[in-house]
A = this chain, B = another copy of it.
């Protein structure tokens, strides 16, 4: 009602995100708001940058959190890196490849879409064919961890291929970051964006992002102005990196950044490799349980994301009704299928804080009761 405080239920979040947000992160968000130009806040932004560099495994100077959700992170990459009439290869193996294509078009680029079946990983051979057929391509864009299907691709090899043909590599790791191995510097990725509400288990609303020197050079030397003022990195750079006091660009989402900072501290306490390992171990536990119920996975065993499990809805089971029962009777959220997979699969997330044994047991037991 519009005259009463909102009291949300206490859900167990095992969909495609948001994942369970810990008490520590919730409490961090409730700390007193301070000014976005307060030296104490600016110090916290610097610390957040260092923590994001750790999570991305990069020393990229231009590493920060866009003040808007993951989709704005995507837009930030394409708006800044694509100039009009430039060819961009989009590796599309799910819902988010389609969004990348939309982005390229809106910024005046020419998308060359490589289609891989939903649920499979990106095929390197097809990229190379496209690069040979379009030697004037400037960028190759791919999704590390397809949230719509649960397929893991290989951004390291894709980036190597892109570089062999003189292209930059943009990688979407919205669902990947902290859930599966990712080494931005070792893999030489040029631009990468993520979200806070997946394996970092902060509240949604921010998009961690990082750009290589080559990307920064391209952005600084653009012929046309970026078709966004809010996301223009030439302006944002001076906000996150300004010496001797930052120039005002926009008011940062103060309390959301408190939450992200705390979530990154939690990640560092656990250790990045340990986080990757935990996600993998828990995936196996869930997989064993589901398979013992006769439930099958969409994605081949070797290409599965541990943090996003797309499973076929068993024959004769009503999709919507079952998910509603899980939500209403068990306070358990799992994800529906997206796009061509709507009504065919469910997506069970084991992301960040949600990736734990208690959740897995609860999910398996609840599923048994509703299907």
Contacts and interface: CB of A to CB of B under 8 A. Distances in A.
A67 B70 contact: no
A222 to B, nearest CB: 12
Given A31-B26, A256-B205, A36 B18 contact: yes
B229 A262 contact: no
Contacts of A265: 2-5
B251 A195 contact: yes
Interface stretch (A7-15, A125-133, A282-290, A308-316): A7-15
B32 A204 contact: no
Tallying the copies of this chain within the complex gives 2
A256 B3 CA distance: 18
> For the side of the interface on A, what is the size category?
35 or more
The interface residues of chain A, by DSSP majority, are classed as loop
Contact of A227 (B26, B71, B107): B107
A193 to B, nearest CB: 12
Contact of A29 (B41, B74, B255): B255
Interface of A: 1-11, 13, 15, 17-18, 20-21, 24, 26-36, 38-41, 44, 47-48, 50-51, 54, 67-72, 74-75, 79, 99, 102-103, 105-107, 195, 197, 203-205, 225-230, 248-256, 258-259, 261-262, 265, 268-269, 327, 333, 338
Given A8-B41, A21-B32, A21-B33, 4 more contacts: A7-B31, A27-B30, A36-B204, A205-B254
